[in-house]
Each structure stands twice: as structure tokens, then as C-alpha cells.
Amino acid sequence: MTNLVIPAPQVPTIPTSDGGAFPVRRVYCIGRNYAAHAIEMGHDPDREPPFFFQKNPNNMDASGEFPYPPHTSDVHHEVELVVALKSGGTNIPLDKALDHVWGYAVSLDMTRRDLQGEAKKMGRPWEIGKAFEQSGPVGPLLPVSKVGHPDHGRIELKVNGEVRQEGDLNQMIWKVPEMISYLSEYFELAPGDIIMSGTPSGVNAVVKGDLMEATIEGLGGLTVKVV
Ligand code: MN
């Protein structure tokens, strides 16, 4: 590129299990994708159309540390499966959706729940609660060639050794192919897009010094210290 008037920002990346780096273009996050979590947030778990919000690509962070963010006193953990796309398009049919997946990872959708709650009440967007610095701790991406397409298996989050969240990937209301196909009807998906696929019940607050250990069966773990 020529004539950039400021230095180009670096492309955010997620490390891969084989020592590579996956460049991130967009981060789509689904809301209320496990019935038990929808209920704990005060909503009907029936299968209504899915809804999505976005984090910023450079919110994804593999440092293993989560700096307690400003202007909140209620930061929640949400353990989630990340789906990383190697290709995209529009109107992707369900039976072709998984062909676009490069791999999977364990992640945390860290949430300023107090600010998100205010935004909901006032009918405002969620970014202030969801899309802040280092709000997307993420583990190494594992390629489909190694782990296939996990559609069941335990998903869990411990804080300081105590289980806070647990569920099974098979409890997702909207499955991975459905999320890809649905998103592609509204957006043009492309290589580098990732989807955070929702959290099981048990979301709760962390404080400085807490150690979060997220695991998904078959995908290993992610350990993040709140600093
Ligand atoms: Mn979430």
C-alpha cells in the first residue's frame, strides 16, 4: 500500500497450535445460545431467530492475562467455542457451511455486565459492555485437520479451581453450520472472520487476582489471570 498517511495498524492474530498465526478480520458473537444461560439472563429459551453483536478484531488476546477494565464493578466470564473461517461468501447453504471452517479454539467473552445491563435498559448498543480492550481472551486455534468439527463435548470454566460454568457443545440452540449460514445471509463472510458461539449457564463476576481456566473437550484449555 502506498500513501498511507499514518502507519497501518497491525492485523490482529490468534496463535495456532502448530506455531502459526491466524489473522482476524471480524468477530461475530451470538447471544443466548444455550437455553440454561438464556433463562439465567431472564429470557425465554425458545428458539427465536439468533442475534449477533461484534467485538473488535484487536480485542482478541492470547496473552493469558485479562486486565480488569475501567468503569465497571461487575465483569463476567463467558466461556465460548470460537469458530475460525478460512473462506466465506454470502448465502452459504447449511450443508456447505463447515467447509469454510479453518479451526476451533477456546475463548472467553468477557463482559462489563453492569454497562451491558444499562445499555439493554436504554435500548443502546452493547459495545461498551462487550467490545473493550482485551475482552476476548483466546487459546490457540486448532485446525480442523486435527480436531474435526466438534459438535458435542464438555465446555467448562473454573475460577480459582472451582467450577463456575459447565455445559455441553450439543446444548447450543443454534449449531455451528446454522450460525455460519445465517450470518452469511446478512453479511459477506470472509477469511479471517471468527464466530464466538455463546456461553453455557453459570456466568459470574471475577475480581483482580482470579485465575480462570476454560476447557472444551477435545480442544484443550485456556488459562487467564485477572490482573
Ligand atoms: Mn457471549
C-alpha cell at 165: 460454568
Interval between CA 9 and ligand 1 midpoint (Å): 26
3-state secondary structure 60-73: EECCCEECCCCCCC
What pLDDT, on a 0 to 100 scale, did the predictor assign at position 47?
77
Interval between CA 216 and ligand 1 midpoint (Å): 15
Tell me the mean pLDDT in the region 99-124: 97
Q: Where are the alpha helices (DSSP H) in 63-130?
A: 113-122, 127-130
Neighbours of ion ligand 1 (CB under 5 A): 78, 109, 199
Tell me the mean pLDDT in the region 74-100: 98
Interval between CA 147 and ligand 1 midpoint (Å): 23
Q: How far is CA 106 from the centre of its chain?
A: 8
pLDDT tens by residue, 17-73: 999 999 999 999 999 999 888 888 888 877 789 999 999 999 999 999 999 999 999
Domains parsed from the chain with CATH numbers: 13-226 (3.90.850.10)
C-alpha cell at 77: 466470564
Exposure string over 6-35, b if 16+ CB within 10 A, otherwise e = eeeeeebbbebbeeeebebebbbbbbbbbb
Tell me the mean pLDDT in the region 154-178: 97
pLDDT tens by residue, 203-222: 999 999 999 999 999 999 99
Name the residue type at position 195.
I
| 8 Å CB contact between 189 and 180 | yes
Interval between CA 3 and ligand 1 midpoint (Å): 39
Tell me the mean pLDDT in the region 164-178: 97
Task: Give residues with Cβ within 8 angstroms of 126, minimum separation 6.
Answer: 53, 116, 119, 120
Interval between CA 6 and ligand 1 midpoint (Å): 34
Interval between CA 11 and ligand 1 midpoint (Å): 23
Is the pLDDT assigned to residue 1 strictly greater than 80? Answer: no
What pLDDT, on a 0 to 100 scale, did the predictor assign at position 41?
87
What pLDDT, on a 0 to 100 scale, did the predictor assign at position 2?
81
How does the average pLDDT of the chain come out, rounded?
96
Pick from 221, 139, 194, 181: nearest CA to 49: 181
Interval between CA 7 and ligand 1 midpoint (Å): 33
